[in-house]
Amino acid sequence: MLLAIDTGNTNTVFAVFDDEGHIRGEWRASSDVNRTADESGIWLSQLLSLAGLERSSITAAIIASVVPATVFSSRALCRRYFNCQPLVVGTAEVDIGIKVLLDRPEEIGADRLVNAVAAYHEYGGPKIVVDFGTATTFDVIDAEGSYLGGTIAPGINLSLAALHRTAAQLPRVAVGRPERVIGKTTVQAMRSGIFWGYVGLIEGMVERIRDELGAQAGVIATGGLAPLFTECCPVLEHVDLHLTLKGLLEVYRRNVHR
């Protein structure tokens, strides 16, 4: 079985795929650069046991990280607890299978690359991937599956935290769909501004990307808050919460079978 590790700025996802490509277990932890390989190994071993999975059944691993300081401990985790040398997306020896048409391809986050791989493999191209993470990203794949670039905006929770932190009279509020656009209280106004403001961001960015691309690219949403926006954003045609993990599986298969 394959252990896939997706380290984002906020959370790290650990997932186990069986030989048929089905997810047998999936767990989240905070992305803590101070967490040691042994701490992660003990924690993950217990979760595997609770899921009825043997640690010895994992024979391969792949890592995608946007937090470089965590890669060393993730490598050590794979070697020490699963006796395997992991593939690391973004290193020279790993072939992701698509062209990256950027001026500085080394700057692109590993999560955005594997999202592009999964989007093209699962849905074809051209496609726009909207990822609701710590940042809200829009990534563009052309009809041939090449990664063209994208945009990065502050994430929803990040924006809410910034409002609360820097404005003395604005409280901390939860993300949710308000019934009205015009808020009658401060909390209602904040919730409306965040939610409907992001709806406007999504719709406006997709329209502008399509215009610049010259194609009616389909749109895939991923990230924890994606389902919240699909009900009122018809441009979000597909929701795939496992898109990044699927991309890691596809990259692993490509490199093992090449």
* CATH number assigned to the domain comprising residue 32: 3.30.420.40
Q: Both 145 and 211 in a single domain?
A: yes
Looking at the structure, do residues 28 and 120 belong to the same domain, yes or no?
A: no
- Mean pLDDT calculated for residue range 126-135: 94
Question: Six-digit token pair at 59?
Answer: 């024979």
> Where in the sequence is the domain holding 81, given as residue range(s)?
2-88
Annotated binding site for K(+): 131
Structural domain contains residue 253: no
Q: How far is CA 35 from each of CA 25, 77, 89, 245, rounded to the nearest angstrom?
A: 21, 11, 21, 22
Q: For residue 12, what is the DSSP state? A: E
* Sequence letter at residue 106: E
Cα–Cα distance for residue pair 146/142, rounded to 1 Å: 6
Do 35 and 225 contact (CB within 8 A), yes or no? Answer: no
Is there a domain that residue 97 lies in? no
Number of domains in the chain: 2
Q: Do 34 and 116 belong together in one domain? A: no
Indicate whether 181 and 237 sit together in one domain: yes
Task: State the residue for tokens 């690359």.
Answer: 113
Number of residues written out for the chain: 258
Query: 182-230, pLDDT tens digit by residue?
Result: 988 888 888 888 899 999 999 999 999 999 999 999 999 999 889 989 8
Q: Tens of pLDDT along 131-180?
A: 998 889 999 999 999 999 999 999 888 877 887 777 767 777 778 888 88
Catalytic position from the list 111, 139, 142, 240? 111
Tell me if residue 111 is catalytic. yes
Q: Is residue 256 part of a domain?
A: no
Annotated binding site for substrate: 109-112, 186
pLDDT of residue 168: 63
User: Hey, how many other C-beta atoms are within 10 angstroms of the C-beta on 19?
Assistant: 8
Backbone phi and psi for residue 241, each to the nearest 5 degrees, phi listed first: -75, -10
Q: pTM for the whole thing?
A: 0.90
pLDDT tens digits for range 59-93: 999 999 999 999 999 999 999 999 999 999 999 89
Residues flagged as binding site for ATP = 6-13, 134
Q: Is the pLDDT of residue 33 over 80?
A: yes
